[in-house]
Amino acid sequence: MSATIRVASFISLMLVSMQSWAEYQLNMRPGVTSFSQGAYGIHTMVMWICVGIGIIVFGAMIYSIIMHRKSRGAVAAKFDDNLTVELLWTIIPFIILAFMAVPATRVLLAMEDTSNSDMSIKITGYQWKWHYDYLAEDISFFSNLATPVEQTQNKATKDNNYLLEVDNPVVVPVNTKVRLLLTSNDVIHSWWMPAFAVKKDAIPGFINESWFETDKVGTYRGQCAELCGKNHGFMPIVVKVVSADDYQAWVAGKKQLAAAAAESATKTWTRDELIEHGKTVYATNCAACHQVSGEGIPNVFPALKGSAIATGPAAKHIDIVTHGKTGTAMQAFGTQLNDADLAAVITYERNAWGNNMGDVVQPADIKAAR
Amino acid sequence: MSAVIEEHHGEHHDHKPTGIGRWLFSTNHKDIGTMYLWFSFTMLFVGGALALVIRAELFEPGLQFVEPELFNQMTTLHGLIMVFGVIMPAFVGLANWMVPMMIGAPDMALPRMNNWSFWLLPGAFGLLIASLVMSLMGMGSAPNFGWTFYAPLSTTYGPASTDFFIFSVHMMGISSIMGAINIIATIINMRAPGMTYMKMPIFVWTWFITAYLLIAVMPVLAGVVTMMLFDRHFGTSFFNAAGGGDPVLFQHVFWFFGHPEVYIMILPSFGIISQVVPTFSRKKIFGYSSMVYATSSIAFLSFIVWAHHMFTTGMPVATELFFMYATMLIAVPTGVKVFNWVSTMWRGSLSFETPMLFAIAFIFLFTIGGFTGLMLSIVPADFQYQDTYFVVAHFHYVLVSGALFGIFAAVYFWLPKWTGNMYDEKLGKLHFWLSTISVNILFFPMHFLGLAGMPRRIPDYNLQFAEFNALASVGAFIFGFTQLILLYNIVKTIRGRNTVKATGKVWEGSEGLEWTLPSPAPFHSFSTPPVVK
């Protein structure tokens, strides 16, 4: 209902004032990199050439429709061929195309030149999240959708960055040529950042290259652009471009976090701590398939609530979460999560939704099982 | 003796089998053509219903009607059904009806094969739709990897029903190849005396070229699904990098089929428009021979542009440049065709019956689709368009307001010849105006969505895309339900109550052999070949 009202108000607004166009994005955005602006320029040029040709062709048709109607007494002329015009409308379009091809080639060559980069980030697509690896910094992390599921299910108000919010954004310094190395862990994904005009497929078993450099500090949002399964619409990309100082501070912070995580993997946790942390890990990594309720989707994703594995021996449970199950969507989370996260999520699964096993899995158990 | 044969032949002429056997064992080009057309029309409503589920879900942000898993099945089956179940069978149905009549032949060259070509289709689509029915009944997922079924999503990660899909595609392919062989054999061997190649109606020419495209690329599609089958069950790794294969190889093979396929779905419509526009302009087609050469050029170019669907896969820059230039070239012969149609109308004596209205809408809207096609060929800009709603808008402009509007024009154009009754012109015009307005409400906003950054094939989206999605959904529902007017009009024309009887010529400006036959056309077209001067 609210959408109906929105459409109605939108149409009336459009009619009333041209200012309303600013609110609704009609055209490509120029973006913040040299080649996103190049792509925008070519897009604009080709579009206006098309509009010009359209005005001529459609104008001739409309003139003919109005003036050459039988009901106005028009009598059909006898001509049915003319070599000169046939040649003209073959050659002129050819020249126009050549005119478009020159700048297109120039921008493309610049886009594909990944040499002399200042830093490299390896990006790996997963069903359905991105993994970033800062090759020189020893920083790596997963970046998951952060929009609460209640918003998707229409139980909470959607905010402005609905479906375009992640837990761990990519952070890069301004005025730096960042080379991207793209690959995938499972199916083909495509890393698309509209503001940079970077769209490159992440293909399992192969590495693609791309790059960007911008002088505009800001937060940029994009999405996966290649159908990659159920949650293809739910793996956004957020890049924060910051000053060099802020970047250094972020790097230091990330390294501290990594050290803290390493420490937490060796200590012994209480059951409550594990369950509390496990609930967060579960929501980020498991709920997409097994659902928040633990009930899964019948015949597609198995339920954990009351399942043989979650209510059976802990060793088997640890094994399947750590090593995955080949031939299914169940991934080997041992390569994605640390010992503490794994211990927490397994403990949570064994004690949630009425799976009252009462037992506790510690990081040390995971380490032993790896 | 000859008198006896003559008499026997006369008897046979009126013999029309009755009951279900007439359809099941039919070798008659008109009956088979009719079955193709009804099959296509049925599938239009099935595929359309799936599209309306998609548009209902996308009416508002958030998940309302279908879960993402089911949403992907909807987009996949919508695409497969519309491409293989609606556009292609409708064209084959039109070719069956019209090619023998237009070239002065009694029937198709290979009538029994014709029967088999058709009867494979209900099997193929029964299998495909069965997978969706099973999915709705909770027995696993239907194909959910998009109509382009990229590996490894469709191989390693494909649902069990992928094997149904593979078998179904094989059957469609065999059907198409046999249909194409039949059309080529008919055109080469059964033209009336005096009908040289350069005297053939343009519709026959476009189908002649389309048939060669089909024979060239349907085996490639069969090859790629067979490789999938082997990867899935027999331990090969064509598309699996872990086994030494390459997922991008899939895309090369698929689009080597897929791009000519795009032209398979538009060339016959070009032919239809080239029949309709001269008729209602009361003027000969402008530049007949350049039309034939342009169609042939498009067919040739269609084989060397496939990788423009794959600019983001990380090809070498030289390859990207080659495919960009080759793709841009297609604008030249396509432009020639549009210019020729406009010149045919120029200084004609125009009238605007429903077929002409659809033909004019075709020229306008297909040209818009052509413009966006040119924009998509420019690689740096394509990086921004690829896999967004801009692409969705582009191919729906060429396939719905292009190919499908061409089919609508053909149905109104030839329906009086098929049934002997005039269709209801008022309803035809109503159908035209509602379709043309709603198709633009449906697809034009998708250009804006794509440029603003909305990826395709997503069940839910950011709030900035809400207004145009809601608008598109409104257009979709109007467009969908408008097609019931066409159904009603066709049924009314066939039943023939309160309709005007059609003359043999039907239209004032008709030219060509099919209009020399009475309306409705007799069960067997030309028992004695007419002579073309």
For the segment A111-132, what is each residue's pLDDT rounded down to a tens digit? 888 889 999 999 999 999 999 9
In whole angstroms, what separates CA A196 from the centre of its chain? 13
Residue A341's pLDDT is 87
- B503 φ/ψ sector (left φ>0, alpha ψ -120 to 50, else beta): beta
Contacting residues of A for B156, CB less than 8 Å apart = 186-187, 327
Q: Is A320 helix (H, G, I), strand (E, B) or coil?
A: helix
Cα-based distances in Å from B226 to A316, B169, B170, B175, B466: 37, 10, 9, 17, 41
CATH fold, domain B22-256, is Cytochrome C Oxidase; Chain A (1.20.210)
The reply to whether domains B22-256 and B266-524 share a CATH topology is yes
Give ∠ CA A119-A120-A124 in degrees, rounded to 5.
155
Residue B5's pLDDT is 43
Cα-based distances in Å from B52 to A272, B64, B81, B474: 48, 14, 14, 10
- Whole-angstrom Cα distance, residue A39 to residue A289? 38
Give the dihedral of Cα atoms B179, B180, B183, B187; nearest 10 deg.
-170
Distant-in-sequence, close-in-space partners of B234: CB < 8 Å, separation ≥ 6: none
What percent of chain A is predicted at pLDDT more than 90? Answer: 53
Q: Which whole number is the average pLDDT over B307-319?
A: 95
* Inter-chain residue contact A227 with B145, CB threshold 8 Å: yes
Which of these ranges, A60-64, B6-10, B143-147, has the smallest mean pLDDT?
B6-10
- Whole-angstrom Cα distance, residue B228 to residue B215? 21
In whole angstroms, what separates CA B432 from the centre of its chain? 19
- What six digits make up the tokens of B325? 């230039």
Going from N- to C-terminal start, the domains of chain B cover 22-256, 266-524
Three-state SS across B170-216?
A: HHHHHHHHHHHHHHHHHHHHCCCCCCCHHHCCHHHHHHHHHHHHHHH
Which of these ranges, B21-25, B52-56, B189-193, has the smallest mean pLDDT?
B21-25
- Whole-angstrom Cα distance, residue A75 to residue B122? 48
Architecture of domain A119-257: Sandwich (2.60)
For residues B426 and A356, which has the higher predicted lDDT (pLDDT)? B426
Interface of A with B in 235-264 (CB under 8 A): none
Q: pTM, whole model, 2 decimals? A: 0.91
- Whole-angstrom Cα distance, residue B390 to residue B443? 10
* pLDDT band (50, 70, 90) for residue A14: low
Question: Is the CB of A19 inside 8 Å of chain B's CB atoms?
Answer: no
Count other Cβ atoms within 10 Å, centred on residue B51: 23
Architecture of domain A265-369: Orthogonal Bundle (1.10)
Helical residues (DSSP H) of B66-201, grouped into ranges: 68-80, 88-103, 111-136, 162-189
Return residue ranges of chain A for CATH 2.60.40.420. Answer: 119-257
Cβ atoms of residues A188 and B150 within 8 Å? yes
DSSP-derived letter for residue A311 is T
- What six digits make up the tokens of A173? 């310094």
* Inter-chain residue contact B246 with A205, CB threshold 8 Å: yes
* Inter-chain residue contact B283 with A77, CB threshold 8 Å: yes
Question: Is the CB of A157 inside 8 Å of chain B's CB atoms?
Answer: no
Q: Which candidate, A249, A244, A317, places its Cα nearest to that of A286?
A: A317
Residue A305's pLDDT is 87
- Whole-angstrom Cα distance, residue B435 to residue B486? 10
Determine the residue among B131, B237, B284, B343 to mutate to test chain A binding: the one whose Cβ has the most chain A Cβ atoms within 10 Å. Answer: B343
Three-state SS across B454-495?
A: CECCCCCCCHHHHHHHHHHHHHHHHHHHHHHHHHHHHHHHHH
Give the dihedral of Cα atoms B161, B164, B168, B171; nearest 10 deg.
160
* pLDDT band (50, 70, 90) for residue A365: confident
Residue B7's pLDDT is 42
Distant-in-sequence, close-in-space partners of A133: CB < 8 Å, separation ≥ 6: A121, A122, A123, A124, A139, A140
Place of tokens 């350069």: B198
- Whole-angstrom Cα distance, residue B238 to residue B242? 10
Place of tokens 């497969």: B80
- What six digits make up the tokens of B138? 């909770």
Closest residue on chain B to A205 (Cα): B241
Residue B527's pLDDT is 87
Cβ atoms of residues B83 and B522 within 8 Å? no
* pLDDT band (50, 70, 90) for residue A332: confident
Place of tokens 């919508």: B78
Residue type present at position B441:
I
Distant-in-sequence, close-in-space partners of B442: CB < 8 Å, separation ≥ 6: B396, B472, B475, B476, B478, B479
Nearest by CB to A233, which of B320, B331, B460? B460
| Per-residue pLDDT tens digits for B80-108 | 999 999 999 999 999 999 999 999 999 99
Which of these ranges, A10-24, B397-411, B454-468, has the smallest mean pLDDT?
A10-24
* Inter-chain residue contact B150 with A227, CB threshold 8 Å: yes
Residue A257's pLDDT is 87
**Terminal Cα-to-Cα distance of chain B (whole angstroms):** 32
Determine the residue among A108, A153, A159 to mutate to test chain B binding: the one whose Cβ has the most chain B Cβ atoms within 10 Å. Answer: A108
Distant-in-sequence, close-in-space partners of B70: CB < 8 Å, separation ≥ 6: B135
Residue B340's pLDDT is 96
Residue B4's pLDDT is 42
SS3 content of chain B, % helix, strand, coil (to 5): 75, 0, 25
For residues A163 and B16, which has the higher predicted lDDT (pLDDT)? A163
Residue A185: φ, ψ to 5°: -90, -20
Question: Is the CB of A181 inside 8 Å of chain B's CB atoms?
Answer: no
Closest approach of chain A CAs to the CA of B19, in angstroms? 44
* Inter-chain residue contact B462 with A300, CB threshold 8 Å: no
Relative orientation angle of helices A34-67 and B331-345, to the nearest 10 degrees:
20
- Residues of B with catalytic roles: 78, 107, 147, 175-176, 259, 261, 263, 274, 308-309, 334, 337, 456
Residue A104's pLDDT is 94
| Per-residue pLDDT tens digits for A56-85 | 999 999 999 999 999 999 899 999 889 999
- Whole-angstrom Cα distance, residue B148 to residue A127? 19
| Per-residue pLDDT tens digits for A247-303 | 999 999 999 988 888 787 778 888 888 888 888 889 888 887 888 888 887 777 888
Chain A to chain B Cβ contacts (< 8 Å): 306
Closest approach of chain A CAs to the CA of B465, in angstroms? 8
Residue B107's pLDDT is 94
Closest approach of chain B CAs to the CA of A249, in angstroms? 31
Q: What is the ipTM of this complex?
A: 0.91
- Whole-angstrom Cα distance, residue B325 to residue B332? 12
Q: Which whole number is the average pLDDT over B243-258?
A: 96
Please, which residues bridge with residue A130 across strands? A125, A143
- What six digits make up the tokens of A17? 């004032």
Architecture of domain B266-524: Up-down Bundle (1.20)
Return residue ranges of chain A for CATH 1.10.760.10. Answer: 265-369
Residue B11's pLDDT is 41
Residue B12's pLDDT is 46
| Per-residue pLDDT tens digits for B398-424 | 999 999 999 999 999 999 999 999 999
Determine the residue among B341, B458, B511 to mutate to test chain A binding: the one whose Cβ has the most chain A Cβ atoms within 10 Å. Answer: B458
For residues B2 and A205, which has the higher predicted lDDT (pLDDT)? A205
* Inter-chain residue contact B152 with A188, CB threshold 8 Å: yes
DSSP-derived letter for residue B508 is T
- What six digits make up the tokens of A84? 């000169």
Residue A4's pLDDT is 61
Nearest by CB to B287, which of A38, A86, A93? A86
Return residue ranges of chain A for CATH 1.10.287.90. Answer: 22-111
Residue type present at position A152:
T
Residues written for chain A: 370
Q: Which whole number is the average pLDDT over B184-207?
A: 96
Helical residues (DSSP H) of chain A, grouped into ranges: 2-16, 34-67, 83-111, 149-152, 244-264, 271-285, 287-290, 314-323, 339-351, 363-369
- What six digits make up the tokens of B412? 């109104």
Q: Compute the mean pLDDT over every residue in chain B, rounded to the nearest whole number.
A: 94
Q: Please give the helix or strand (H or E) that residue B263 lies within, else none.
A: helix B247-264
In whole angstroms, what separates CA B471 from the centre of its chain? 26
Question: Is the CB of A369 inside 8 Å of chain B's CB atoms?
Answer: no
Residue type present at position B429:
K
Question: Is the CB of A298 inside 8 Å of chain B's CB atoms?
Answer: yes
Instruction: Judge whether residue B517 has pLDDT over 50.
Output: yes
* Inter-chain residue contact A54 with B367, CB threshold 8 Å: yes
Which of these ranges, A362-366, B111-115, B387-391, has the smallest mean pLDDT?
A362-366
Residue B525's pLDDT is 86
CATH code of domain A22-111? 1.10.287.90
Q: Which whole number is the average pLDDT over A141-164?
A: 91
| Per-residue pLDDT tens digits for A296-329 | 877 778 888 888 888 888 888 888 998 888 767 7
Residue B39's pLDDT is 97
Q: Is B374 helix (H, G, I), strand (E, B) or coil?
A: helix
